[in-house]
């Protein structure tokens, strides 16, 4: 889950412990563009203090005003919609005709928020099911592929570990990439058995391991919330890790390198008995084409592609490094030939 939403839960538990009433607001459905995804949360304290967000700000203001004027009177959860009309959509910063549906849940000590926080902070992936009729909630183990479900009678939300990223190699590019990835809310593990690279590693918020990369891939038990990026340029380190990673459900597996090196890598990986489907999952050359040259620019390029994969966005060929460079070469020949 997003660390912003974990902050919402932790503050909600703290406010309840202090004796405040708290309204927990969860995005359960959106139509059209939305600044926050389904499952995003906002907590409003009885005095109007807030943490988290469910929109660009206008809906938050309306909810705060509602609590300040009426207090938290309700005792059971309720579903509300904003932006049904074009006028409301404009008022609340939604696209014309767009709609966002929220569940407003008055919390009590029996809501289990403290227990939920404890489960999340221990690294467990948890499903919380809220009964809309009674306000009772229960916690159960969840799968990485589960998502938000709302059917007017119950609300199921998933809480747990953030997306994980394994970076092979602790070089200069890795430093920039990992710094940004931490900001994007990944739990970042950097693997490099080469002591000369790991000795000075000091990127806050990351974990450095010095085991062989293929062993690390297997030890991490990668799931659908994981990305693997190989950056060493050393086949002895990259190839075995990629071989193992491509067999996992990881949503993204990529490797740095030129088009020529990428083609050679794919030929080498064929010798490891990877299927065509597994090999097709490899992103390489890694990143989207933005003309990047410096390590920070390359890091942005790579993480843009990772973000697209995470969000289920299929990138056109001209945004991919191989397709874009091939197109530029064709265009260059055309100019020379007068085409």
Q: Give the whole-angstrom CA distance, residue 120 versus residue 135.
A: 21
Q: Given this model, what pLDDT does residue 179 score?
A: 96
Reduced to 3 states (helix: H, G, I; strand: E, B; else coil), residue 306 is helix
What's the whole-model pTM score? 0.66
Q: What percent of the chain has pLDDT over 70?
A: 86
Specify the 3-state DSSP secondary structure of 90: helix
Beta bridge partners of 191: 168, 209
Tell me which DSSP letter residue 84 carries: -
Phi, psi of 255, deg, nearest 5: -145, 140
Across the beta sheet with 252-255, the strand order is 206-209, 187-191, 164-168, 226-230, 252-255, 282-283
Q: Rg (Cα) of the chain, in Å, rounded?
A: 23
The reported pLDDT for the residue numbered 336 is: 34
pLDDT band at residue 338 using 50, 70 and 90 as cut-offs: very low
pLDDT tens for each residue of 298-319? 999 999 999 999 988 988 776 6
What DSSP letter does each residue of 218-252 carry, written as one string?
HHHT--TTEEEEE-S--HHHHHHHHHHHTTS--SE
- Pairing label, strands 252-255, 126-131: unpaired
**Smallest Cα–Cα separation from 24: which of 63, 62, 56?**
63
Give the lowest-confidence range in 98-107, 167-176, 310-319, 320-329: 320-329
pLDDT digit string (tens) for 184-241?
889 899 999 999 989 889 899 899 999 999 999 999 999 888 999 999 988 889 999 9
Give the per-residue pLDDT at 89.
58
Give me the torsion for CA of 271, 273, 276, 278, rounded to 10°.
Answer: -110
Please tell me the predicted confidence (pLDDT) of residue 72: 85
Rounded CA separation 194/177 (Å): 19
CA distances from 263 to 53, 258, 305, 315, 336 (A): 45, 9, 19, 20, 28
Return d(Cα 228, Cα 247) in angstroms, integer.
12
CA gap 234, 167 in Å, rounded = 13
Task: Quickly state the pLDDT bin for 146 (edges 50, 70, 90).
Answer: confident
Domain 164-324 belongs in CATH node 3.40.50.2300: no
pLDDT band at 1 (very low <50, low <70, confident <90, very high): low
Residues 6+ positions from 75 with CB-CB distance below 8 Å: 106, 135
Task: Provide the 8-state DSSP code for 211.
Answer: S
- Three-class SS state of 257: coil
Residues sharing a CB contact under 8 Å with residue 184, sequence separation 6 or more, in sequence order: 303, 307
In percent, how much of the chain has pLDDT > 90?
A: 50
Please tell me the distance from the alpha carbon of residue 296 to that of residue 74, in angstroms, as a whole number.
Answer: 50
User: Domain segments of the chain: what residues?
Assistant: 3-123, 164-324
Quick one: CA torsion of 233, 236, 242, 247, rounded to 10 degrees? 170
The string of pLDDT tens digits covering residues 27-68 is 999 876 666 788 899 999 999 999 998 886 678 888 998 898
Residue 251 contacts by C-beta under 8 Å, 6 or more apart in sequence? Answer: 224, 225, 226, 227, 309, 310
Cis status of the peptide bond prior to 285, with omega within 30 of 0: yes
Query: Measured between alpha carbons, how far is residue 320 from residues 56, 246, 285, 306 in Å?
Result: 31, 20, 8, 12
The span from the CA of 39 to the CA of 328, in Å, is 42
Burial class (CB in 10 A: 0-12, 13-18, 19+), 202: exposed
Query: 247 near 223, Cβ under 8 Å?
Result: no
């Amino acid at each position: 889950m997003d660390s912003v939403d974990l902050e919402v839960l932790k503050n909600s538990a703290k406010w309840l412990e202090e004796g405040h009433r708290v309204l927990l607001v969860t995005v359960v459905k959106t139509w059209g563009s939305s600044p926050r995804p389904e499952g995003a949360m906002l907590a409003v304290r009885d005095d109007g203090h807030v943490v988290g967000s469910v929109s660009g700000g206008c809906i938050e203001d309306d909810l705060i005003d509602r609590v300040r004027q009426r207090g938290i009177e309700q005792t059971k959860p309720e579903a509300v919609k904003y932006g049904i009309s074009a006028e409301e959509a404009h008022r609340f910063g939604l696209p014309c005709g767009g709609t966002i549906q929220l569940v407003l849940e008055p919390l009590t000590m029996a809501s289990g928020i403290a227990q939920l926080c404890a489960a999340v902070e221990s690294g467990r992936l948890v499903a919380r099911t809220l009964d809309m009729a009674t306000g009772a909630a229960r916690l159960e183990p969840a799968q990485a592929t589960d998502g938000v479900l709302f059917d007017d009678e119950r609300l199921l939300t998933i809480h747990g570990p953030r997306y994980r990223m394994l970076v092979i190699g602790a070089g200069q590019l890795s430093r920039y990439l990992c710094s940004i990835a931490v900001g994007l809310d990944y739990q970042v593990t950097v693997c490099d058995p080469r002591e000369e690279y790991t000795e000075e590693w000091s990127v806050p918020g990351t974990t450095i391991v010095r085991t062989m990369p293929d062993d690390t891939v297997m030890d991490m038990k990668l799931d659908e919330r994981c990305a693997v990026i190989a950056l060493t340029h050393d086949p002895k380190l990259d190839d075995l890790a990629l071989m193992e990673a491509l067999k996992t459900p990881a949503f993204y597996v990529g490797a740095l390198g030129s088009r020529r090196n990428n083609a050679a890598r794919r030929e080498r990986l064929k010798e490891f008995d990877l299927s065509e489907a597994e090999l097709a999952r490899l992103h390489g050359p890694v990143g989207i084409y933005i003309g990047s040259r410096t390590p920070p620019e390359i890091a942005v390029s790579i993480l843009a592609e990772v973000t697209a994969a995470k969000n289920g966005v299929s990138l056109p060929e001209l945004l991919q490094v191989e397709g874009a460079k091939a197109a530029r070469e064709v265009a260059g020949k055309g100019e020379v030939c007068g085409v």
